[in-house]
Structure formats: structure tokens, C-alpha cells
Amino acid sequence: MDDANQIEVPPSFLALYTSVATRRLTQPIDEVRDRYELCEDLAQMLVEHPSMQQGDDAASQRQALAKTQLALEGEESPVQPSEAVWVIHRLAELLGWEQPEPPAAA
């Protein structure tokens, strides 16, 4: 496989588009890569958002991440709900904050 694109999609993002049953991507790799680039860019941009700069303690950090996730899961969001969760985890990583709890299983 000779893929000229140098962007390496991390396993955590690939998991969003991998079938549990077949362990294969559910979308073409080019589309997954495009979605990853969008989500990574979004996380990088959110690092500079003023609401992220106010989180000095764990409670305010969790609150800032929760509010941001709600916005990312909104109807006008450019990302899918599963991607929004990934963006929030990536944002926490970039900020050096504690990772949010995964959503409870329904």
C-alpha cells in the first residue's frame, strides 16, 4: 500500500470508525483521515478559547469540558457525537487536564 498522505491517524480516532465485528474501517481511509484532521484542528483551536483558560481546579476544568462537549454535540456542530467525545479527550490532553469520565453505557 503506497499512501502518499503523511498524516497518521491515531488508534483512538480510528476506533471511532472501526467495526467491532470485522475490525475493519466502516468508512474509506481518506474520509476518516479528513474527519481526523477536522477534529484535531478543532481541539487545537479550542485550546486557545477563553473558557479553557479559566480552569484552575479540577471541578472548573470538568465543567468547561462538559460545556464544550455539549456545544460540540449540538445540531450545528461540524462533528458527529462520537467525534465530539474524542475532541474533548484530545482537548483535555492538550491542556494537561484530567481526562473526563467516559459516558455511562445506556
Domain residue extents for the chain:
11-95
**Which position has the higher pLDDT, 102 or 34?**
34
What pLDDT score was predicted for residue 3? 55
CA distance 106 to 88: 20
91 by Cβ neighbours in 10 Å (0-12 / 13-18 / 19+) ranks as buried
Integer CA distances (angstroms), 70 to 9, 15, 78, in order: 25, 22, 13
Mean per-residue pLDDT of the chain: 89
**CA-to-CA distance for 24 and 50, rounded, in angstroms?**
39
Return the ∠ at Cα 44 (arms to 56 and 23), rounded to 5°: 110
Q: Are the beta carbons of 5 and 33 closer than 8 angstroms?
A: yes
How far apart are the C-alpha atoms of 91 and 97, rounded to whole Å? 8
User: pLDDT for 6-62, tens place per residue?
Assistant: 889 999 999 999 999 999 999 999 999 999 999 999 999 999 887 777 667 888 899
